[in-house]
Structure 1
């Protein structure tokens, strides 16, 4: 996922006219930063409209998104994008994701304050995992499925490194580094419950929600207590939820990755 990007000057966001040093600092994990920032590039409007008008999108039960909140496709220029399409798969509405050595994400702005950051239920369908991916290695950290949550919050406790990075991100995109990014992933090797930190920032962390080949070629339903997961992963109560994203990527390993995501349900209280 977090491979080096080559961004031609004639296709970049205007705010990318910053120092070469800044570009080098951001290029390694720009897509995750984008999931909390403005979209730099999006799919044609017609394709996104099909997704936003689909039975899959209408089946979500999410916190306050607002009438204007729509799914957007975010990717970096000069990088092969993952293709997302609303379909019906194995008996349920789904978002089909196909990555052929590519990476991009699809994101929806949402809003939930700390006490209401409760239970998240999602599902994914995967035929095969990426056997050469390694989430702990920034050169091979591809994942067939990712469910990404972005949080705003107090940046005062940021480490000096993360504070500098946040300033750089704001200079480049107009918005600061999200307070925290929590990703649920399915990994071929690390056991469920494993927490992995991104090597360039403490504010992006992955939690393995499914592991190994058990569950392949069928729908796997996942329910997570987001507040508890956030507290465990980041060591603090969750703040304000600002974004939800889905991502299938295979650019670092040069592989092919395919997955389906089912509708997502969010509850402020336990679903049991």
Structure 2
């Protein structure tokens, strides 16, 4: 669950809709797609282990589901979830662009802080926002089911150092099993970026295979 210590509680409109109670994928979540990626991962409501979950099927594809929120995390904010994957990617490698795919990941996006960005970064972001009509987040944490990266490792994303990859699971030993994960988002942000986190503006799930061209299925339980 999202547990708070010395932090504001979630506003009713910012609560993450539980997958177990959804009647459609549009209940509090929306598609997350990327420019120049035409093949999207397929997300459906499914029943597994006696509970409704979200199933993601990736086949040389990439997209996610995102819940847009706005919350200043305070001194501590924990996020818990459970997930299961069918397999890991043979060519998966968090340190290389060609291997930047994960059978399961949780993406936490934080508000952009223009006062901490240089001129060229601000200009680049403004251009992208004009072209695609959407305000971009700032730093991000990605909790991943990795292939080669040791568990608990944290590395910069192969495409940008504004996103840090944290291997909360790695390798095939728990493939096919439900695994529960709990993380302190504030502690992880401090370790990743060396400063206090700004507001959280989005939480997403994503199963992608566009770089490796492989296939995988993931099941996501409630994020709380």
TM tier, shorter chain?
0.7 to 0.9
1:46-82 deviation per Cα after TM superposition (whole angstroms, max 9, x unaligned): xxxxxx7963548xxxxxxxxx972111324761110
- Is residue 185 of structure 1 aligned with residue 144 of structure 2? yes
Q: Give the drift of 1:161.
A: 5.0
Residue 20 of structure 2: which of 55, 69, 73 is its match? 55
Alignment partner, residue 217 of structure 1? 176
The question of whether the paired residues in 2 share the 8 Å contact of 1:57 and 1:263 is answered with no
Pairwise CA RMSD: 2.3
Q: Give the drift of 1:200.
A: 4.1
- Is residue 196 of structure 1 aligned with residue 155 of structure 2? yes
Between the aligned partners of 1:101 and 1:190, the Cα distance in structure 2 is 21
Higher RCO structure, 1 or 2 (CA under 8 Å, sep 6+):
2
Q: Give the drift of 1:255.
A: 0.6
Alignment partner, residue 171 of structure 1? 130
Structure 1 outlier segments of 4+, above 4 Å: none
Against the structure 1 CA distance between its residues 133 and 252, is the aligned structure 2 distance closer, same or farther, given a 3 Å change threshold?
Answer: same
Between the aligned partners of 1:53 and 1:114, the Cα distance in structure 2 is 20
Q: Give the drift of 1:112.
A: 1.5
The question of whether the paired residues in 1 share the 8 Å contact of 2:62 and 2:209 is answered with yes
Q: Give the drift of 1:163.
A: 2.9
Identify the structure with the greater helix proportion.
1
- Gapped regions of structure 2 (runs ≥ 5): 1-16
The 5-angstrom pairing of residues 190-269 of structure 1 reads: 190-265=149-224
Between the aligned partners of 1:158 and 1:129, the Cα distance in structure 2 is 36
2:141 is paired with a residue whose SS is strand
1:110 is paired with a residue whose SS is strand
Q: Give the drift of 1:229.
A: 0.4
The 5-angstrom pairing of residues 148-159 of structure 1 reads: 148-159=107-118
TM-score by length of 1: 0.69
Identify the structure with the greater strand proportion.
2
1:147-175 deviation per Cα after TM superposition (whole angstroms, max 9, x unaligned): 00111142222245533432222222334
TM-score by length of 2: 0.82
The question of whether the paired residues in 2 share the 8 Å contact of 1:147 and 1:184 is answered with yes
Between the aligned partners of 2:113 and 2:49, the Cα distance in structure 1 is 42
- Gapped regions of structure 1 (runs ≥ 5): 1-51, 59-67, 266-272
Against the structure 1 CA distance between its residues 136 and 236, is the aligned structure 2 distance closer, same or farther, given a 3 Å change threshold?
Answer: same
Between the aligned partners of 1:187 and 1:91, the Cα distance in structure 2 is 27
Task: Give the paired residue count.
Answer: 205
Alignment partner, residue 115 of structure 1? 74
